[in-house]
Structure 1
Amino acid sequence: MKKAYLLILFIAAIAHSSSAQLKKADVKELAFMAGNWTLKHEWGDMQEFWGEPMGDNMVSTFRCVKDGKVVFYEFMTIEQSDSIPILKLRHFSKGSIGWEDKDKPYLMPATKIDTNEVVFESLDKKVLITYKRIGPLKMDCILDEKGKDGKWKRDVFAYTLSK
């Protein structure tokens, strides 16, 4: 119990320092992300489902399938800290084999929230994930990653809302 409390304090402190421009925000501001989002991509067919905010959290599942075979899965939560939402992400291979340690999800505090847009930043400041609703049926998920060479690479996943 004490370890969990210390971990929460540590995450909150880092979230506070990495999000200087975002003082306070609520997970309910991210309701624009909710829906069943799909796209056809060079990596494969993708589906990302976001549930509506419920209490202090949102949940998401993601899958990428190429030629009828799973490439990888993700399970994501956005949980409200004392002041801001924090994205917690885990990757899985076929067979539900986790990539991250069982007690170490990939943590990304929100650093910016505007109407229909949120930016999450990894604790090491090498990854940004932006969700931007660009219409009633369209949402972009923008993945910016800083490579070992120090250069940023951007992938844009242009999702369409499915029924």
Structure 2
Amino acid sequence: MKYLFRLLFLFSLTISAQTENEIKITDSLTPKLENIKWISGNWKGEAFGGQTEENWSEPSGGSMMATFKLINDNQVSFYEIEIIREIENSLVLQLKHFDNDLKGWETKNETVDFPLIKITPTQVIFEGMSFEKVSDNEMNVYVDIKNDEGQIEIIKFNYKKS
């Protein structure tokens, strides 16, 4: 019964997220960094039972870059380095994960890549991760993460600009 409830809950989240995204993606913008510069800034929030911080640079040199860290019990759990770059008339989000001692999760030449699906005035939708502008000082980031049962869960990070 518990498994069935969890499955139904995840299914409803997926349907809800798809419907919400379908409604909001009608005003498509050109895939240029200039159209997503609202992501830049120092963002703080909570997720995974701890404090999160994500710092995005302004667009320059054909890319935007970010650092991410998760702090649990006053200790860093892990870091990420992220970039969004213009490639072949589109954008791609790439990232690498690191333990708290900067030992990489991915191999030396491997990145986790998220191809662009669509940009609107308030959303940047990549395959597996999306950014939503709530206001000039608040954004939500949605990440698809595989749970212990191998199913995809959508994790929401709510950030405030600091």
With normalisation by structure 1, the TM-score equals: 0.76
Which 4+ stretches in 1 moved above 6 angstroms?
Answer: none
**Alignment correspondent of 2:80:** 74
Structure 2: how far apart are the matches of 1:106 and 1:73? 14
Structure 1 pair 147/71, CA: closer, same or farther in 2 (3 Å)?
Answer: closer
1:1-163 to 2 correspondence within 5 Å?
Answer: 25-121=31-127, 128-145=128-145, 151-162=151-162
Partner secondary structure for residue 34 of structure 2: helix
Note the C-alpha offset of 1:131.
Answer: 0.4
Q: Structure 2 stretches of 5 or more lacking a match? A: 1-27
Note the C-alpha offset of 1:119.
Answer: 1.0
Task: Give the partner amino acid of 2:133.
Answer: R
Structure 1 pair 147/39, CA: closer, same or farther in 2 (3 Å)?
Answer: closer
Tell me whether 101-110 or 144-153 shows the greater mean CA deviation.
144-153
Q: CA RMSD in A?
A: 2.0
Partner secondary structure for residue 97 of structure 1: coil
Identity %: 29
Partner secondary structure for residue 29 of structure 1: helix
What are the superposed Cα offsets for residues 85-142 of structure 1, whole Å, 9 maximum, x if unpaired?
1111000001100001111111111111100210111xxxxxx111011012110001
Name the count of aligned residue pairs.
Answer: 135
Structure 1 pair 94/147, CA: closer, same or farther in 2 (3 Å)?
Answer: closer
Structure 1 pair 150/70, CA: closer, same or farther in 2 (3 Å)?
Answer: closer
Partner secondary structure for residue 140 of structure 2: strand
With normalisation by structure 2, the TM-score equals: 0.76
Q: Structure 1 stretches of 5 or more lacking a match? A: 1-21, 122-127
What are the superposed Cα offsets for residues 69-92 of structure 1, whole Å, 9 maximum, x if unpaired?
110000001111011111110000
